[in-house]
A = this chain, B = another copy of it.
């Protein structure tokens, strides 16, 4: 039995308070959630196209994530065009772009460090 889709105003995995941010962190903190939102930024994708965009994520998980994201009204399945972000999700887009920028700077930071040491398996 998979976990319930996190929704605001009700307890979620890891928090019983019902605080909306906790539901959001639960939702986005599941594998492929952020990635799916990222890949849908440039327009709708069919299930299979989305699967390909996410480097061949297994359909089981993708199906599960889409179910949750639809329950949370971040994604809709527009018959014919495929899966698309809702208006609500689009308001998260600036955040995602900011993450993008941040990640670029992060890479420069790490790149200039020249360690090659502290990885882990």
Contact = CB atoms under 8 A, between A and B. Distances in A.
A98, A109, A110, most chain B CB atoms within 10 A: A110
B54 A14 contact: yes
A74 to B, nearest CB: 9
B119 A8 contact: no
A20, A23, A57, A111, most chain B CB atoms within 10 A: A20
A110 B18 CA distance: 13
Interface in A79-112: 88, 91-92, 94-95, 98-100, 102-107, 109-111
Interface residues of A, number: 54
A87 to B, nearest CB: 10
B110 A102 contact: no
Given A25-B34, A25-B35, 10 more contacts: A4-B119, A4-B120, A9-B110, A20-B104, A29-B35, A71-B119, A71-B120, A91-B102, A95-B95, A95-B98
